Protein backbone atom coordinates (compact mmCIF):
# COMPACT_ATOMS: atom_id res chain seq x y z
CA UNK A 1 0.00 0.00 0.00
CA UNK A 2 2.79 2.47 0.79
CA UNK A 3 4.55 1.87 -2.53
CA UNK A 4 1.27 2.18 -4.42
CA UNK A 5 0.60 5.48 -2.69
CA UNK A 6 4.13 6.83 -3.08
CA UNK A 7 4.35 5.92 -6.77
CA UNK A 8 0.70 6.85 -7.41
CA UNK A 9 -0.74 3.74 -9.06
CA UNK A 10 -3.18 3.19 -6.19
CA UNK A 11 -6.66 3.57 -7.65
CA UNK A 12 -5.44 3.80 -11.26
CA UNK A 13 -8.25 2.81 -13.63
CA UNK A 14 -8.37 1.62 -17.23
CA UNK A 15 -9.37 3.95 -20.03
CA UNK A 16 -12.33 1.68 -20.86
CA UNK A 17 -13.72 1.94 -17.33
CA UNK A 18 -13.42 5.73 -17.13
CA UNK A 19 -14.78 6.13 -20.67
CA UNK A 20 -17.88 4.14 -19.75
CA UNK A 21 -18.40 5.63 -16.29
CA UNK A 22 -17.60 9.27 -17.02
CA UNK A 23 -19.49 9.92 -20.24
CA UNK A 24 -16.73 9.31 -22.76
CA UNK A 25 -13.88 10.96 -20.84
CA UNK A 26 -10.44 10.30 -22.35
CA UNK A 27 -7.82 9.07 -19.86
CA UNK A 28 -4.50 7.26 -19.48
CA UNK A 29 -3.41 4.83 -16.78
CA UNK A 30 -0.96 6.23 -14.22
CA UNK A 31 2.57 5.71 -15.60
CA UNK A 32 4.68 6.54 -12.54
CA UNK A 33 5.32 3.05 -11.18
CA UNK A 34 5.51 1.51 -14.65
CA UNK A 35 8.48 3.79 -15.34
CA UNK A 36 10.20 3.51 -11.97
CA UNK A 37 9.97 -0.28 -11.77
CA UNK A 38 12.19 -0.40 -14.87
CA UNK A 39 14.40 2.65 -14.39
CA UNK A 40 15.14 2.33 -10.66
CA UNK A 41 14.18 -1.17 -9.52
CA UNK A 42 15.32 -3.49 -12.32
CA UNK A 43 16.84 -2.95 -15.78
CA UNK A 44 17.89 0.71 -15.71
CA UNK A 45 17.91 3.15 -18.60
CA UNK A 46 20.38 1.50 -21.02
CA UNK A 47 21.38 -1.99 -22.10
CA UNK A 48 24.66 -3.11 -20.51
CA UNK A 49 27.45 -5.51 -21.43
CA UNK A 50 28.58 -8.23 -19.02
CA UNK A 51 31.30 -5.90 -17.68
CA UNK A 52 28.79 -3.16 -16.89
CA UNK A 53 29.61 -0.87 -19.80
CA UNK A 54 26.82 0.49 -21.99
CA UNK A 55 25.91 -1.27 -25.21
CA UNK A 56 26.09 0.95 -28.29
CA UNK A 57 24.12 1.00 -31.54
CA UNK A 58 25.61 1.43 -35.03
CA UNK A 59 25.90 5.18 -34.43
CA UNK A 60 27.73 4.77 -31.13
CA UNK A 61 24.76 5.83 -29.00
CA UNK A 62 23.48 4.08 -25.88
CA UNK A 63 20.71 1.55 -26.50
CA UNK A 64 17.71 2.25 -24.26
CA UNK A 65 16.15 -0.66 -22.41
CA UNK A 66 12.59 0.59 -22.87
CA UNK A 67 10.54 3.20 -24.69
CA UNK A 68 7.52 5.36 -23.89
CA UNK A 69 5.36 2.73 -25.58
CA UNK A 70 6.59 0.16 -23.03
CA UNK A 71 5.77 2.53 -20.17
CA UNK A 72 2.25 3.05 -21.51
CA UNK A 73 1.73 -0.71 -21.89
CA UNK A 74 3.09 -1.58 -18.43
CA UNK A 75 0.99 1.19 -16.85
CA UNK A 76 -2.13 -0.60 -18.01
CA UNK A 77 -0.95 -3.67 -16.05
CA UNK A 78 -0.98 -1.65 -12.82
CA UNK A 79 -4.63 -0.62 -13.03
CA UNK A 80 -7.27 -1.83 -10.61
CA UNK A 81 -5.36 -1.84 -7.33
CA UNK A 82 -7.12 -0.51 -4.24
CA UNK A 83 -6.45 -0.73 -0.50
CA UNK A 84 -8.67 -2.73 1.82
CA UNK A 85 -10.61 -1.01 4.59
CA UNK A 86 -8.56 -0.26 7.75
CA UNK A 87 -8.27 -2.86 10.49
CA UNK A 88 -10.24 -1.63 13.47
CA UNK A 89 -8.07 -3.52 15.98
CA UNK A 90 -4.88 -1.84 14.80
CA UNK A 91 -5.33 1.25 12.68
CA UNK A 92 -8.37 3.09 14.00
CA UNK A 93 -6.25 5.02 16.50
CA UNK A 94 -3.77 6.03 13.81
CA UNK A 95 -3.77 9.46 12.21
CA UNK A 96 -4.04 7.54 8.92
CA UNK A 97 -7.00 5.47 10.05
CA UNK A 98 -8.68 5.90 6.67
CA UNK A 99 -6.02 3.67 5.02
CA UNK A 100 -5.10 0.03 5.43
CA UNK A 101 -1.30 -0.14 5.52
CA UNK A 102 -1.02 -3.81 6.50
CA UNK A 103 -2.76 -5.99 3.94
CA UNK A 104 -1.82 -6.55 0.28
CA UNK A 105 -3.80 -4.49 -2.17
CA UNK A 106 -7.19 -5.61 -3.40
CA UNK A 107 -7.84 -5.89 -7.15
CA UNK A 108 -11.05 -4.24 -8.35
CA UNK A 109 -11.86 -6.25 -11.47
CA UNK A 110 -13.92 -3.52 -13.15
CA UNK A 111 -10.98 -1.08 -12.98
CA UNK A 112 -8.51 -3.45 -14.63
CA UNK A 113 -7.32 -2.98 -18.18
CA UNK A 114 -8.29 -6.24 -19.90
CA UNK A 115 -6.34 -5.91 -23.14
CA UNK A 116 -2.92 -7.41 -24.02
CA UNK A 117 0.24 -5.69 -22.76
CA UNK A 118 3.46 -5.84 -24.78
CA UNK A 119 6.69 -6.95 -23.13
CA UNK A 120 10.27 -5.80 -23.77
CA UNK A 121 11.10 -8.55 -26.30
CA UNK A 122 8.43 -7.87 -28.92
CA UNK A 123 5.91 -10.28 -27.45
CA UNK A 124 3.20 -10.00 -24.83
CA UNK A 125 3.14 -10.32 -21.06
CA UNK A 126 1.72 -13.76 -20.41
CA UNK A 127 3.28 -15.46 -23.44
CA UNK A 128 4.91 -17.99 -21.11
CA UNK A 129 1.56 -19.16 -19.73
CA UNK A 130 -0.77 -21.63 -21.47
CA UNK A 131 -4.02 -20.50 -23.05
CA UNK A 132 -6.94 -21.15 -20.73
CA UNK A 133 -8.77 -22.78 -23.65
CA UNK A 134 -5.92 -25.31 -23.99
CA UNK A 135 -5.95 -26.55 -20.40
CA UNK A 136 -7.04 -30.17 -19.88
CA UNK A 137 -10.67 -30.94 -19.22
CA UNK A 138 -11.69 -30.58 -15.56
CA UNK A 139 -8.39 -29.04 -14.52
CA UNK A 140 -9.68 -28.87 -10.94
CA UNK A 141 -9.10 -32.63 -10.64
CA UNK A 142 -5.57 -32.69 -12.05
CA UNK A 143 -2.35 -33.46 -10.19
CA UNK A 144 -0.82 -30.34 -8.64
CA UNK A 145 -4.13 -28.52 -8.24
CA UNK A 146 -4.43 -26.56 -4.99
CA UNK A 147 -7.42 -25.91 -2.73
CA UNK A 148 -7.59 -23.34 0.09
CA UNK A 149 -9.70 -23.81 3.21
CA UNK A 150 -12.42 -21.15 3.53
CA UNK A 151 -14.17 -22.47 6.61
CA UNK A 152 -17.91 -21.84 6.69
CA UNK A 153 -17.82 -19.02 4.12
CA UNK A 154 -18.95 -20.26 0.66
CA UNK A 155 -17.64 -17.20 -1.21
CA UNK A 156 -14.18 -17.32 -2.84
CA UNK A 157 -11.44 -15.02 -1.58
CA UNK A 158 -9.17 -15.01 -4.66
CA UNK A 159 -11.88 -13.67 -6.98
CA UNK A 160 -14.94 -11.47 -6.67
CA UNK A 161 -18.39 -12.87 -7.36
CA UNK A 162 -21.26 -11.01 -8.93
CA UNK A 163 -23.20 -9.22 -6.15
CA UNK A 164 -26.21 -11.49 -6.71
CA UNK A 165 -24.09 -14.44 -5.53
CA UNK A 166 -23.07 -12.72 -2.30
CA UNK A 167 -26.36 -13.47 -0.60
CA UNK A 168 -26.89 -15.49 2.53
CA UNK A 169 -27.87 -19.12 2.68
CA UNK A 170 -31.61 -18.29 2.88
CA UNK A 171 -31.60 -17.80 -0.90
CA UNK A 172 -31.92 -20.53 -3.51
CA UNK A 173 -28.31 -20.27 -4.73
CA UNK A 174 -26.96 -23.74 -5.48
CA UNK A 175 -23.45 -24.58 -4.23
CA UNK A 176 -21.19 -27.38 -5.40
CA UNK A 177 -21.57 -30.07 -2.73
CA UNK A 178 -19.14 -32.96 -3.09
CA UNK A 179 -20.51 -36.48 -2.63
CA UNK A 180 -18.93 -38.63 0.06
CA UNK A 181 -18.05 -41.19 -2.63
CA UNK A 182 -15.99 -38.59 -4.51
CA UNK A 183 -12.21 -38.92 -4.69
CA UNK A 184 -11.93 -35.13 -4.38
CA UNK A 185 -14.13 -35.22 -1.28
CA UNK A 186 -11.84 -37.81 0.32
CA UNK A 187 -8.76 -35.63 -0.33
CA UNK A 188 -10.35 -32.48 1.08
CA UNK A 189 -12.35 -34.01 3.95
CA UNK A 190 -9.28 -35.95 5.12
CA UNK A 191 -11.27 -37.83 7.78
CA UNK A 192 -12.38 -34.53 9.29
CA UNK A 193 -8.85 -33.13 9.66
CA UNK A 194 -9.19 -30.11 7.38
CA UNK A 195 -5.87 -28.79 6.09
CA UNK A 196 -5.38 -25.09 5.32
CA UNK A 197 -4.01 -25.95 1.88
CA UNK A 198 -4.48 -29.20 -0.03
CA UNK A 199 -2.51 -30.08 -3.18
CA UNK A 200 -3.65 -33.06 -5.24
CA UNK A 201 -0.85 -35.62 -5.59
CA UNK A 202 -2.47 -37.43 -8.53
CA UNK A 203 -5.15 -37.00 -11.19
CA UNK A 204 -8.61 -37.81 -9.84
CA UNK A 205 -11.61 -39.40 -11.57
CA UNK A 206 -14.72 -37.23 -11.50
CA UNK A 207 -17.80 -38.29 -9.57
CA UNK A 208 -21.41 -37.09 -9.69
CA UNK A 209 -21.78 -33.38 -10.43
CA UNK A 210 -18.02 -33.03 -10.88
CA UNK A 211 -18.43 -34.73 -14.26
CA UNK A 212 -20.99 -32.15 -15.42
CA UNK A 213 -18.96 -28.96 -14.94
CA UNK A 214 -15.92 -27.42 -16.63
CA UNK A 215 -14.51 -25.94 -13.44
CA UNK A 216 -15.39 -25.06 -9.85
CA UNK A 217 -14.84 -22.05 -7.61
CA UNK A 218 -15.73 -23.31 -4.16
CA UNK A 219 -16.80 -26.78 -3.05
CA UNK A 220 -18.58 -27.91 0.11
CA UNK A 221 -17.04 -30.92 1.83
CA UNK A 222 -18.97 -31.03 5.13
CA UNK A 223 -22.28 -29.83 6.57
CA UNK A 224 -22.38 -30.93 10.21
CA UNK A 225 -22.13 -29.10 12.56
CA UNK A 226 -21.37 -26.25 10.10
CA UNK A 227 -20.68 -26.22 6.34
CA UNK A 228 -17.01 -26.38 5.38
CA UNK A 229 -15.85 -25.00 2.03
CA UNK A 230 -12.64 -25.09 0.01
CA UNK A 231 -11.67 -22.69 -2.78
CA UNK A 232 -10.15 -23.98 -6.00
CA UNK A 233 -6.95 -22.11 -6.87
CA UNK A 234 -7.01 -21.92 -10.66
CA UNK A 235 -3.78 -22.35 -12.60
CA UNK A 236 -2.54 -19.11 -14.21
CA UNK A 237 -3.50 -19.03 -17.87
CA UNK A 238 -4.19 -16.50 -20.62
CA UNK A 239 -7.61 -15.57 -21.96
CA UNK A 240 -7.32 -14.21 -25.49
CA UNK A 241 -8.80 -10.74 -25.85
CA UNK A 242 -9.49 -11.27 -29.56
CA UNK A 243 -10.45 -14.50 -31.27
CA UNK A 244 -12.39 -15.79 -34.24
CA UNK A 245 -16.03 -16.75 -34.02
CA UNK A 246 -16.68 -14.88 -30.79
CA UNK A 247 -20.23 -14.38 -29.51
CA UNK A 248 -21.46 -11.70 -27.17
CA UNK A 249 -23.44 -12.95 -24.18
CA UNK A 250 -25.64 -10.52 -22.25
CA UNK A 251 -26.75 -11.21 -18.72
CA UNK A 252 -30.48 -10.81 -18.10
CA UNK A 253 -31.76 -9.45 -14.81
Q: Per residue in 221-244, pLDDT tens?
A: 998 888 999 999 999 998 887 767
Rama region for 222: left / alpha / beta (φ>0; ψ in -120 to 50; rest): beta
Minimum mean pLDDT range among 53-57, 154-158, 170-174, 195-199: 170-174
SS3 73: helix
Question: Looking at residues 79-103, what average pLDDT do you find?
Answer: 74
Taking a C-beta distance cutoff of 8 angstroms, is the pair 82, 106 a contact? yes
pLDDT band per the 50, 70, 90 thresholds, residue 109: confident
pLDDT band per the 50, 70, 90 thresholds, residue 47: very high
Complete DSSP assignment for 161-215: --GGGS--TTS----EE--TT-HHHHHHHGGG---SEEE-SS-----GGGGG-S-
- Average pLDDT of the chain is 89
pLDDT at 163: 64
Taking a C-beta distance cutoff of 8 angstroms, is the pair 106, 100 a contact? no
Check whether the bond before 225 is cis (ω within 30° of 0). yes
Query: pLDDT over 70 for what percent of the chain?
Result: 91
Q: Name the residue among 166, 111, 103, 139 with its Cα closest to residue 234.
A: 139
Question: Looking at residues 11-26, what average pLDDT do you find?
Answer: 93
pLDDT at 64: 96
* pTM, to two decimals: 0.70
Query: pLDDT over 90 for what percent of the chain?
Result: 64
pLDDT band per the 50, 70, 90 thresholds, residue 205: very high
Q: Could you give the CA distance from residue 147 to residue 159 in angstroms, rounded to a whole number? A: 14
Q: Name the residue among 128, 154, 136 with its Cα closest to residue 222.
A: 154
142-186: per-residue pLDDT in tens? 999 999 999 988 888 887 766 666 655 555 677 899 999 999 999
Amino acid sequence: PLMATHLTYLGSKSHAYIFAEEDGKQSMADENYAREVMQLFSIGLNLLNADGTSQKDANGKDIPTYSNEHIMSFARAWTGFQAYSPRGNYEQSSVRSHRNLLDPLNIVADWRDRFPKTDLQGGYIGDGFPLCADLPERMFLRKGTTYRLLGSNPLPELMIDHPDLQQDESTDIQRMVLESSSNLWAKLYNQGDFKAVVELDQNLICSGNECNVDTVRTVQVASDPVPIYYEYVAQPCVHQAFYEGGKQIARRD
